[in-house]
Structure formats: C-alpha cells, structure tokens
Amino acid sequence: MDDIPNLTWLNVGLASLFILINAGISLYLKLKLEKALLISSVRCIVQLTIMGKILNDVFEANNVYLVMLMTFTLIFLSSCETVYNKSEWSFNGMFPSVLITTAFTTMLIGIIGSRYAMNEKTFWAPDLFIPTMGLILGVTAGGVAVSLSICLDKIKEDQKVIETYLSYGASKWEACRMIAKESIKLALLPNINRMSIVGLITIPGAMTGQILSGAPIMNAVYYQQIITFMISAAETLCVVIVTYVSSTERAVNIGYSSESYRWLSTMLLIVRTD
C-alpha cells in the first residue's frame, strides 16, 4: 500500500498519552496500578523496539537456522514468563515440562499449519513462520498460565481430600481428575469466546496486519481463520498436557523463594500478542 503513513517516535509518544487515562482511573479509584502501568508501558516500548531490530536482520538473512533460533528463543522466554512470573506454586520439574510441552505443541502445529494449511512450501519462511509462532505462543502461554494457576491452587486447597483419595488406592490422576478438568475448561473458554465474536464484533490483529500490509482482504480473512484454528489446537494440546503433568505432581509453595527468578522473568523480553 502506497498510502501507509510513515510513523515515528513522535506518533508513539502521542499514543502513549492514552495511558494517562488508565493512570487517572487508577489514581481516582486508588487501585495502585500506576507503577505496574509504567513498567508495562516501558517494557512494551523496549521489547517491541528490540524485537523489531532483530526481526529486520532475521528477515533479511532468510536463514532457517536463525529462524529456528528465534523461534526457540520465543518459546524459552514464554515458558519463563509462565512458570516464574505467573504462578505462585510449583512442583519438581515444572519448568522443563512447560518448556518441552510448549515447544512440542507449538512447533508441531506451526510447522504443519504453515506447510499445508497456509500452502507455504518453505514452511520456515521468516516473514510467515515467526509472526505465526508469535501469535500461537501469545495465546498458548496465557492459557497454560491460567490452567496452571487454577490447578495448583485447587490442589493446595484440597490437599486433604486428595490425600484421602490416594489413601484409598486412587492414582494421582484419579485423585486430581476433577480439578484438572475444571482447570482445562476455564483455560480454554477465553479462546472459544474469542472465536465466537471474531469478525462479528472484533477485527483481529493478524487480519488487521495483513490488510495494512496491502494483502487482498479475502486473503487476510483466510489467514485469520487458519491462524485462529492453529492457535486453538496448539493451546488445547499444551494446556491438556501441562495440566495433566501438574495435577499428578505434588504442589509446593514457591512464595518469595523464587524472587530471583521473578526478577529475571520481569527483565526478559517477552513478545506478547493480543
């Protein structure tokens, strides 16, 4: 598109003034969210700027090894955010299980979807594969975080009930099955709701990006439909596997003992998508 506006830091600065609305509401209602808003805003600017510089070089290089390195970096950072910054509870081997499951499910769906659903013979083409994986990871990480939080909280609350089941010979899965099912259901509901309103109430980000880049509108529609179904499949697989693993392990309170990890996760550059 020839009429795409040339945006600068001045435009970003003007847009950042909208955050003052949030800050004003927080101050008026005494929500004490001003600090969180400031940190999140700064992270948004820094992370996206660095990511833009890196993506520009990766796209120009058009090298499969760089694309895979970039993808696994996103997976690693996503897992760090989920485990160390989103969950108050943990169990032995939680990070490796989340990392491996996230890598397996997102890469499986990402590769198959890019190669066959999107009809891209070179599935790792950086201008297609990396944005697609970013979209998948953004939603999947959120679903896993919700499921883990609910599951581990309920396991801790119902610890005596679970121990009673175990004492009568139930397996770990049988003792925690209802908790796991409820956690999975609550984690997947937001994505189901998003699919039900997409195109009716909202124009999703992927479709908007395609349109702004000059792609035919129907091609943007097809891309959004494909990526929506890929996201749903990847999130479901990842949430189910991680919840199963977490529900069959003993939960322990990490409290402030993981403060160093929380600090590390806060400083890491995470790509987030809506």
Give per-residue pLDDT as tens, 169-221. 888 888 888 989 999 999 999 989 988 888 887 788 788 888 877 888 899 89
Structure tokens at 251: 């939960």
Mean pLDDT of the chain: 84
Question: Phi, psi at residue 28, to the nearest 5°?
Answer: -65, -40
Question: Average of pLDDT values for 235-261?
Answer: 67
pLDDT at res. 255? 36
The answer on pLDDT for 119 being more than 70 is yes
pLDDT at 132 over 90: yes
pLDDT score, position 250: 53
Q: Rg (Cα) of the chain, in Å, rounded?
A: 21
